[in-house]
C-alpha cells in the first residue's frame, strides 16, 4: 500500500482522483485491511494545514482526538475527551469518527453547533451539511461553525457490548435578529435526533417547543435527562 501525505489541497485532490482511500488514525480500518487486504493507495490528511485547524469556530478532520482542547467549545471538547480509551484518543481523528465510525460521539456536538462540513470533491473544496457527508461519505477536510454563547455535553455510562450510551449535546447561539437559539442533539441507541428552538424567557417554553418537535419520540427517561441537561445549560447561559 502506498500512503500519500498531501501537503496542499491540490495535491489531496490529485490523490483523490487517483483513488486513494482516506485514512485517519487507522483505528478502525487496520483490522479490516489485514483481514481483507490493503488498498493500493491510501491518503492521510495529517500534513494538510486545512485539515489540522483547531479553534473556537473550526476543527480539522485530521486532528487527533486528544489534541482537542479548550480552544474549541465545551460541547466538542468534552465529547472528544470521552471517546473510547486513552490509546484510541491518541490515534483516532475527527474525520474517522464522524465519517467512518458507527458510534460517532462527535456527531451530536457538531449538530448542536450547527456545524457545516468543508469537503474535498474532485472539482475542489465545497461546503455542505453533515447529513450529506454521512450519506455520501465525502472526504471531510474540516468542520466550521459560529461560536456559541455556551454549550454542554453529557454521555451516560455505557456497558461493554451494550447499546451505545445516551449522548446529549446542547448549545445556545445568538441569532442575527438579537434572539437566542437553543440547539440540542441526542443520541438514543443508534439514532441521532436534533432540534432547535428560539429561546424564550421561560425555560419551560423552550422545553415544550423541543418536546413538540422530533424529541416527542424520545422515551420518557431520555426526555427527563434532556430536560435536566437543557435546564442547567439555559440557567448557566442566562447572564452571558
Ligand atoms: C476500543 C475502542 C473504543 C471506541 N469508543 C468509541 C466511543 O466511545 N465513541 C466513538 O464515537 N467512537 C469510539 N470508537 C471509534 C473511534 O472513534 C474510531 O476508531 C475512530 O473515530 C476512527 O478514527 P480513525 O481516525 O482511526 O479512522 P480510520 O480507522 O483511519 O478510518 C475509519 C473510516 O473513516 C474514513 N475516514 C477517515 N478520515 C476521513 C476523512 N477525513 N473523510 C472521510 N472519511 C474518512 C476511512 O476511510 C475509514 O473508512 C472506539 C474505537 C475503539 C477501537
Asked whether the predicted pLDDT for residue 152 surpasses 90, the reply is yes
Which residues, at least 6 apart from 126, have a Cβ–Cβ distance to it below 8 Å?
Answer: 118, 119, 120
Residue 178 pLDDT class (50, 70, 90 cuts): confident
Residue 46 alpha carbon to ligand 1 centre in Å: 15
The ligand 1 atom at the shortest distance from the C-alpha of residue 107 is 11
The ligand 1 atom at the shortest distance from the C-alpha of residue 21 is 47
The ligand 1 atom at the shortest distance from the C-alpha of residue 165 is 8
Which residues, at least 6 apart from 33, have a Cβ–Cβ distance to it below 8 Å?
Answer: 1, 39
C-alpha–C-alpha distance, residues 211 and 153, integer Å: 19
Give the pLDDT of residue 197: 96
Task: Give the mean pLDDT of 76-102.
Answer: 97
Q: Hey, which of 95, 134, 142, 157 would you mutate to test ligand 1's pocket, going by the most ligand atoms within 8 Å of its Cβ?
A: 95
The residue whose CA has the least distance to atom 35 of ligand 1 is 100
Contact 170, 190 (CB under 8 A): no
Residue 167 pLDDT class (50, 70, 90 cuts): very high
Task: Look up cell 445516551; give the residue.
Answer: 166
Backbone angles phi, psi at 95, to 5 degrees: -65, -45
Tell me: the pLDDT tens digits for 183-238? 999 999 989 999 999 998 899 999 999 999 999 999 999 999 999 999 999 999 98
Strand arrangement of the beta sheet that strand 41-44 belongs to: 2-4, 41-44, 21-23
Give the pLDDT of residue 219: 96
Helix (H, G, I), strand (E, B) or coil at 147: coil
Give the pLDDT of residue 238: 84
Residue 176 pLDDT class (50, 70, 90 cuts): confident
Ligand 1 cavity residues, CB under 6 Å? 21-29, 45, 61, 83-85, 88, 91-93, 95-97, 99-101, 103-105, 139-140
Helix (H, G, I), strand (E, B) or coil at 109: helix
What cell was used for 140? 471531510
Helix (H, G, I), strand (E, B) or coil at 188: strand
Give the pLDDT of residue 15: 97
Q: What is the mean pLDDT of the chain?
A: 96
For the chain, the 3-state helix, strand and coil shares in percent, each to the nearest 5, are: 35, 25, 35
Tell me: the pLDDT tens digits for 125-144? 999 999 999 999 999 999 99
The ligand 1 atom at the shortest distance from the C-alpha of residue 27 is 26
Q: Hey, which of 92, 110, 121, 132 would you mutate to test ligand 1's pocket, going by the most ligand atoms within 8 Å of its Cβ?
A: 92
The ligand 1 atom at the shortest distance from the C-alpha of residue 45 is 41
Asked whether the predicted pLDDT for residue 240 surpasses 90, the reply is no
Pick 159 or 146 by higher pLDDT: 146
Which residues, at least 6 apart from 62, have a Cβ–Cβ distance to it below 8 Å?
Answer: 24, 44, 45, 46, 48, 51, 52, 93, 94, 95
Asked whether the predicted pLDDT for residue 180 surpasses 90, the reply is yes
Tell me: the pLDDT tens digits for 6-37? 999 999 999 999 999 999 999 999 999 999 99
Q: Nearest 5 degrees, angle CA 185-CA 189-CA 190? A: 80
Asked whether the predicted pLDDT for residue 5 surpasses 90, the reply is yes
Contact 98, 110 (CB under 8 A): yes
Task: Give the mean pLDDT of 147-164.
Answer: 92
Residue 52 alpha carbon to ligand 1 centre in Å: 16
The residue whose CA has the least distance to atom 9 of ligand 1 is 83
C-alpha–C-alpha distance, residues 133 and 64, integer Å: 19
Give the pLDDT of residue 7: 98
Residue 158 pLDDT class (50, 70, 90 cuts): confident
The residue whose CA has the least distance to atom 27 of ligand 1 is 96
120, containing H or E segment: strand 116-121
Amino acid at each position: 500500500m502506498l500512503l500519500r501525505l498531501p501537503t496542499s489541497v491540490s495535491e489531496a485532490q490529485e490523490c483523490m482522483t487517483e483513488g486513494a482511500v482516506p485514512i485517519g488514525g487507522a483505528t478502525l480500518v487496520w483490522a479490516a485491511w489485514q483481514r481483507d487486504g490493503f488498498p493500493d493507495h491510501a491518503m492521510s490528511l495529517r500534513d494538510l494545514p486545512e485539515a489540522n485547524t483547531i479553534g473556537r469556530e473550526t476543527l480539522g478532520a485530521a486532528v487527533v482526538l486528544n489534541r482537542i482542547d479548550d480552544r474549541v467549545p465545551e460541547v466538542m471538547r468534552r465529547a472528544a475527551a470521552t471517546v473510547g480509551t486513552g490509546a484510541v484518543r491518541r490515534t483516532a481523528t475527527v474525520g474517522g469518527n464522524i465519517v467512518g465510525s458507527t458510534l460517532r460521539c462527535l456527531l451530536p456536538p457538531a449538530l448542536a453547533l450547527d456545524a457545516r462540513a468543508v469537503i474535498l470533491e474532485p472539482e475542489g473544496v465545497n461546503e455542505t451539511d453533515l447529513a450529506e457527508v454521512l450519506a455520501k461519505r465525502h472526504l471531510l477536510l474540516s468542520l466550521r461553525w459560529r461560536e456559541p454563547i455556551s454549550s454542554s455535553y453529557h454521555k451516560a455510562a455505557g456497558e461493554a457490548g451494550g447499546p451505545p450510551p445516551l449522548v446529549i449535546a446542547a448549545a445556545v447561539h445568538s441569532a442575527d435578529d438579537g434572539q437566542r437559539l437553543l440547539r440540542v442533539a441526542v443520541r438514543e441507541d443508534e439514532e441521532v435526533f436534533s432540534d432547535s428552538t428560539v429561546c424564550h424567557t421561560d425555560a419551560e417554553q423552550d422545553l415544550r417547543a423541543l418536546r413538540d418537535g422530533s424529541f416527542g419520540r424520545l422515551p420518557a427517561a431520555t426526555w427527563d435527562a434532556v430536560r435536566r441537561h437543557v435546564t442547567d445549560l439555559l440557567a448557566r447561559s442566562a447572564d452571558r
